[in-house]
Structure 1
Amino acid sequence: MMGMGIRGARTAIKLATFRTMMAGAALTGDPAAKLLGRRQPANPFPLYEQIREHGDVYRSRLGIFCTVSHAQCRAVLKDPRFGMPVPPSPPAWEMYQGDADTLIHPIERSLLAVNPPEHTRLRRLVAPWFTASALRTRAARVEKIVHSHLDRISDGQDFDLVRDFTAQVPTAVIGDMLGIEIENYEQFGRWGMALATTIDGVRTMGERRMVRAVLAEMTSFFTQLIEENRRAPRDNAISGLVGAEVDGRPVTDEELIGLIGLLLAAGLETTVNLISNSVRFLLEHPDQKRLFLDNPDTAPDVVEEALRYDPPAMFTVRMALEDVELDGRLIPRGGWLVQLLGGANRDPKVFTDPHRFDVTRGNIREHIAFSAGAHHCVGSGLARLEAEIALRELFARFPDMRIAGDVTMRTARSARGPQSIPISVAQAVGPDPSRRA
């Protein structure tokens, strides 16, 4: 118990010191400190423009480097001289002796946190579930899930878009892929949202306790689920991965738990934000909504422009594996470079009138919302599929819906999206029973 107290005190001191540094730098006007602090600014885009004024690479008073340059972000994400930062040791969420050995954190113990060749091996394990052919097969199941949730809110009553629809669909889709029983979806979604809020690190003792509790529940649940699938294989991703091998090396249970958890932490929140933002931007831009209603087949364009205009993940970080010079600045070995994707996707050198939401934009797919290079989001195809189907079916059911109150945004640092969007339904089109057959 004494050791636990000492470790807890040290962690608390480190977190407090870090927050003090952030707050101090923010008070001096450092835009990077304001962007990367405890709470995401309600409107981060003016801060991106402040950083852009300093050139392609900006050195923050925090000692880290940042870029909002589309070209630099894309180049760094593909540059083998940069890799994923090394997680802190001991982990910031560790509270009890042995936590780091018995609790599996999906960010620190999965392909998201490692570099090639280990990253390549882990990615090859999950990639078959996200190929174009696999997604075509899954499309019908996604449509069924979307219809079932629309049926629950299609009685003409007002509803909250996030709570009643956009948070429900991705949770059900991932649960279906992994073979999670329906009664576990609420818990499943809670884990994903909790981990996503701290995907870029723990800042407070409250976050530390929350992450530790979630990891304890999640590790126990998925350990049991893996054993069940090992004893009685089923038609789902977990059974497909149990016993799988790459280059003659089997996947371990620890790796499997990390991969499953990664779908939660990195995939669930991202897709919820993507669907929510896509709907919100159409409702906030009537001319763009009319273009979509006139041609629902343009759903992919709406999704791509939503990804560019306000990406669901606003930044990612890389560490220099050797001394690297960028834009006349030396980034030393071990130095951190933050790619501010939200700013890069509004780079005026790439996108004309970048602060305008325009689904007819000619280079609409040049955004880097899903990163680039080796760590390009493996689940991006599934997220796009869910968003496109959700958009088409939602507006087919509620063509006259409108935002009926204030949109509340999440406060997570990296993941960005609405927490609540009140919707008023002027007229709803009833469910098509044949679609639920």
Structure 2
Amino acid sequence: MRIEDRAKPVVRWALGHGVPRTALRVAARRGDLQSRLFAEAGVSPTVGLTGLFDEIRGRGRLVRGAFSYVTASHAVVREVLTGNDFRSGIVPDATGWWGRLSEWSSVEGLHPMAPPSLLVTEPPDHTRYRKLVTRVFTVRAVENLRARTEEIAHELLDGLDPAEPVDLARTYCSLLPVTVIAEILGVPPQERRRVLTLGTAAAPSLDMGLTWRQFRAVERALVAFDAWLTAHLERLRSKPGDNLLSRLVAAREDGVGLTDLELRATAGLVLAAGFETTVNLLGNGIALLHDNPDELRAVADEPSLWPNAVDEILRADPPVLLTGRTCLRDTEVAGVPVPKAALVTTILAGANRDPEVFADPGRFDVHRENAREHISFSAGRHYCLGAALARMEGEVGLRVLFDRYPKLRLTPGATHRQTRILRGYESLPARLAG
């Protein structure tokens, strides 16, 4: 291996993790709010960050930090996410030394925070990708999966012994969405565990500030996932099936389909995002309903409340903590001047607890009339493509579990995932029979 090839991963880690990690820790000790969020998110569940969200809102609707602007205001988060003055992701200035080093050391292949990922592309490419994916990922297609999702939920629960302790995060919350998305995308049953393992290993790729060991593990997982996905797409090209990914391979817009890299990036994101966030939704929902028995009783007595209960879960403990945007031109947000190339951190979980929008935001209330106004699926052109699927899986998965085991009790030992962006349970011990 050439010296240059050995140096690139080191530079990638230093620019994306090593230097930011050190700088954020120093700034956090000095009281910088965004840096404190970075530090505390690594050790606290989302509910433990609500005091910091309140403190950020108390400083202003948009607060200038040491490295970026930050907001926990519902109105400002929505304005930034939907506005044309901002683009997705953190984009270094290509003319500066940091940008030139980033470009030189950029990884070849898949990364969710690198083009052509839908997460960080903008029109016209983003529009083209999204049109093709939307064609095969419609609300009607999702609703047609409802009965099958319920079957899978029952099959998973059939495999559990109600008399024995169980880890719901590993045996139910993770397996339900990965089975559903695997069937949608034509993944053979014998390969689904591998997809789940690779997706879980790659989940920290959304985070900043990884250690060198974590960074290398993530990059290895991404390389392995790319290799698996390439082989899977080749199988579907030679033997298309009745699944959405086979349709995406064949999809055309004005006679033009996705290139091989675009297809891998889009399919990989749909596959990974199709279960990673829903795993968190299910785990967070189980914990919230368990800890609020009056609310659980309400949905049991009135099953029509389940869709609203899922949105209240998404509001109260969202699967994604925050997202970032880069300012494209000098502008003004909430009366605060924001210069070109500035970074803005939009705290989705903070916006979901904004008292200007949600009365008594710390209360979990399945009857909340405006629960659906949460921003857990982002907003604007980057609104989550899988929102309908996540809502349906959350509703079915939680209803089936609590219908079958109304006396379910969580037991000590639950642990949260160590990722800062994706928020959920790594383990959720329980006894199904109470």
- Does the TM-score normalized on the shorter chain lie above 0.5? yes
Task: Please tell me the residue identity of whatever aligns with 1:17.
Answer: V
Instruction: State the distance in 1 between where 2:8 and 2:266 align.
Output: 28
Do residues 176 (structure 1) and 178 (structure 2) align? no
Q: Give the equivalent residue in structure 1 for 2:81.
A: 77
Structure-2 change in CA distance of 1:13 and 1:425 (3 Å): closer
- Given candidates 264, 268, 280, the residue that maps to 1:261 is 268
Do residues 275 (structure 1) and 277 (structure 2) align? no
- Given candidates 26, 29, 51, the residue that maps to 1:27 is 29
Q: Give the equivalent residue in structure 1 for 2:170.
A: 163
Please, which runs of 5 or more residues in structure 2 have no aligned partner? 93-98
Structure-2 change in CA distance of 1:286 and 1:420 (3 Å): same
Offset, 1:201 = 4.1
Task: Please tell me the residue identity of whatever aligns with 1:35.
Answer: L
Q: Give the equivalent residue in structure 1 for 2:395.
A: 388
Task: Please tell me the residue identity of whatever aligns with 1:83.
Answer: R
Offset, 1:139 = 1.2
Q: Give the equivalent residue in structure 1 for 2:256.
A: 249
Q: Give the equivalent residue in structure 2 for 1:39.
A: 42
Residues 191-340 of structure 1: pairs in structure 2 closer than 5 A? 191-201=198-208, 203-340=210-347
Stretch deviating more after TM superposition (407-416 or 418-427): 418-427
Offset, 1:279 = 1.3
Offset, 1:273 = 0.6
Instruction: State the distance in 2 between where 1:418 and 1:91 align.
Output: 36
Offset, 1:130 = 2.9
Offset, 1:351 = 0.6
Task: Please tell me the residue identity of whatever aligns with 2:83.
Answer: D
Instruction: State the distance in 1 between where 2:126 and 2:385 align.
Output: 12
Residues 414-429 of structure 1: pairs in structure 2 closer than 5 A? 414-426=421-433
**Alpha-carbon deviations, 1:261-306, whole Å to 9, x = none?**
1124433221001111111101001111111221223111211101
Structure-2 change in CA distance of 1:40 and 1:404 (3 Å): closer
**Alpha-carbon deviations, 1:101-145, whole Å to 9, x = none?**
3x2224422211111221111011111333221112111221121
Structure-2 change in CA distance of 1:198 and 1:91 (3 Å): farther
Q: Give the equivalent residue in structure 2 for 1:139.
A: 146
Query: Is the contact made by 2:204 and 2:218 (CA closer than 8 Å) also made in structure 1?
Result: no
Task: Please tell me the residue identity of whatever aligns with 2:52.
Answer: L
Query: Is the contact made by 2:327 and 2:338 (CA closer than 8 Å) also made in structure 1?
Result: yes
Q: Give the equivalent residue in structure 1 for 2:96.
A: none
- Given candidates 351, 357, 366, the residue that maps to 1:350 is 357
- Given candidates 30, 51, 66, the residue that maps to 2:56 is 51
Instruction: State the distance in 2 between where 1:139 and 1:92 align.
Output: 44
**Alpha-carbon deviations, 1:158-213, whole Å to 9, x = none?**
21110110011011111111111112111111222222222144633223211221
Give the paired residue count: 422
Instruction: State the distance in 1 between where 2:168 and 2:104 align.
Output: 36
**Alpha-carbon deviations, 1:349-403, whole Å to 9, x = none?**
0111001111111211111111111111010000010010011110111011111
Q: TM-score with structure 1 length normalisation?
A: 0.91
Task: Please tell me the residue identity of whatever aligns with 2:367.
Answer: T
- Given candidates 62, 68, 79, the residue that maps to 1:64 is 68
Instruction: State the distance in 2 between where 1:266 and 1:34 align.
Output: 27
Offset, 1:2 = 1.9
Q: Give the equivalent residue in structure 2 for 1:434.
A: none
Instruction: State the distance in 1 between where 2:107 and 2:314 align.
Output: 35
Residues 92-111 of structure 1: pairs in structure 2 closer than 5 A? 100-101=107-108, 103-108=109-114, 109-111=116-118
Query: Is the contact made by 1:91 and 1:100 (CA closer than 8 Å) also made in structure 2?
Result: no
Stretch deviating more after TM superposition (154-163 or 323-332): 154-163
**Alpha-carbon deviations, 1:62-115, whole Å to 9, x = none?**
x200111101111111111111135566897998xxx833x2224422211111
Q: Secondary structure at the match of 1:32?
A: helix
Instruction: State the distance in 2 between where 1:260 and 1:280 align.
Output: 31
Instruction: State the distance in 2 between where 1:350 and 1:57 align.
Output: 17
Q: Give the equivalent residue in structure 1 for 2:95.
A: none
Query: Is the contact made by 1:106 and 1:257 (CA closer than 8 Å) also made in structure 2?
Result: no
Structure-2 change in CA distance of 1:309 and 1:217 (3 Å): same
Task: Please tell me the residue identity of whatever aligns with 1:45.
Answer: T
Instruction: State the distance in 2 between where 1:200 and 1:113 align.
Output: 14
Query: Is the contact made by 2:162 and 2:433 (CA closer than 8 Å) also made in structure 1?
Result: no
**Alpha-carbon deviations, 1:38-69, whole Å to 9, x = none?**
825342111111111111001112x2001111
Structure-2 change in CA distance of 1:287 and 1:155 (3 Å): closer
Task: Please tell me the residue identity of whatever aligns with 1:70.
Answer: H
Instruction: State the distance in 2 between where 1:311 and 1:426 align.
Output: 28
Instruction: State the distance in 1 between where 2:428 and 2:219 align.
Output: 30
Instruction: State the distance in 1 between where 2:152 and 2:111 align.
Output: 29
Offset, 1:317 = 0.9
Query: Is the contact made by 1:400 and 1:426 (CA closer than 8 Å) also made in structure 2?
Result: yes
Instruction: State the distance in 1 between where 2:154 and 2:37 align.
Output: 38
- Identity, in percent, stands at 37
Query: Is the contact made by 2:111 and 2:205 (CA closer than 8 Å) also made in structure 1?
Result: no
Structure-2 change in CA distance of 1:202 and 1:171 (3 Å): farther
Instruction: State the distance in 2 between where 1:172 and 1:69 align.
Output: 36
Stretch deviating more after TM superposition (399-408 or 65-74): 399-408
Instruction: State the distance in 2 between where 1:91 and 1:281 align.
Output: 45
**Alpha-carbon deviations, 1:219-270, whole Å to 9, x = none?**
1111111111111111112211113211332211111111121124433221
Stretch deviating more after TM superposition (180-189 or 129-138): 129-138
Task: Please tell me the residue identity of whatever aligns with 2:36.
Answer: K
